């Protein structure tokens, strides 16, 4: 399967250099801005919030992921990076065609590559987010609260709205409202999409 890759860099030399590493690979099809891409490779000597926001603009769908190749990457921008679809970060110095290609293929298979320093910082920031904001408000890192998880779990088991209401001692209107709230907040298209989201997040 060919991965459609857009290489983006403010410096044309960086862009050309990274593109040259990928061009011989049969697994990769290089695309230009405006064309549909599976992965955006951001190549910059220093990556900060402004560059990450630009990558988010270049993503053709929410499923498009980003691989960052950077000389410097500030820990304070990690949460912005996650929001903008960044799943892997490689150091600019010494990056090889083999390493970059394996990272891109791995992203397509659901894997992630990140320096240990950034991994540790991201875990710390996620734990702080959960402790300070989500848990006090009854939410999880998935954005679903306990009532929403209960409803989705029963939907996944095949129960109808009236049966879910009876099992949870809710009105049918409450069940519909809980489900609608989760779907609207997380931009989920329908019940099946909502259940799939919870399953992928490891919650069901």
**pLDDT, tens only, 79-93:** 888 888 888 999 988
Rg, Å, the chain Cα set = 20
Is pLDDT at 202 greater than 60 in this prediction?
no
pLDDT value, residue 193? 72
Is pLDDT at 4 greater than 90 in this prediction?
yes
- Tell me the mean pLDDT in the region 6-21: 94
Question: What pTM, to 2 d.p., does this model score?
Answer: 0.64
Higher pLDDT, 62 or 171: 171
- Tell me the mean pLDDT in the region 139-151: 76
- List the domains of the chain with CATH numbers: 3-117 (3.40.50.2300), 135-200 (1.10.10.10)
Is pLDDT at 116 greater than 90 in this prediction?
no
């Amino acid at each position: 399967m060919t991965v459609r890759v857009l290489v983006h860099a403010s410096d044309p030399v960086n862009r050309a250099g990274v593109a040259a590493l990928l061009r011989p690979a049969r697994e990769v099809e290089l695309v230009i801005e405006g064309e549909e891409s599976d992965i955006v490779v951001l190549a910059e000597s220093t990556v900060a919030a402004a560059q990450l926001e630009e990558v988010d603009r270049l993503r053709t769908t929410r499923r498009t992921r980003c691989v960052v190749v950077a000389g410097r990457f500030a820990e304070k921008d990690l949460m912005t990076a996650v929001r903008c679809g960044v799943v892997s970060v490689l150091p600019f110095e010494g990056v090889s065609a083999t390493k970059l290609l394996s990272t891109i293929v791995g992203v397509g298979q659901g894997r992630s590559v990140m320096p240990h320093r950034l991994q540790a910082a991201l875990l710390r920031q996620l734990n702080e987010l959960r402790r300070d904001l989500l848990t006090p408000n009854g939410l999880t890192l998935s954005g679903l609260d306990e009532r929403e998880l209960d409803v989705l779990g029963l939907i996944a088991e095949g129960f109808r709205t009236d049966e879910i209401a009876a099992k949870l001692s809710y009105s049918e209107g409450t069940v519909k409202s809980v489900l609608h709230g989760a779907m609207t907040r997380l931009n989920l298209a329908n019940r099946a999409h909502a259940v799939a989201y919870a399953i992928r997040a490891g919650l069901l």
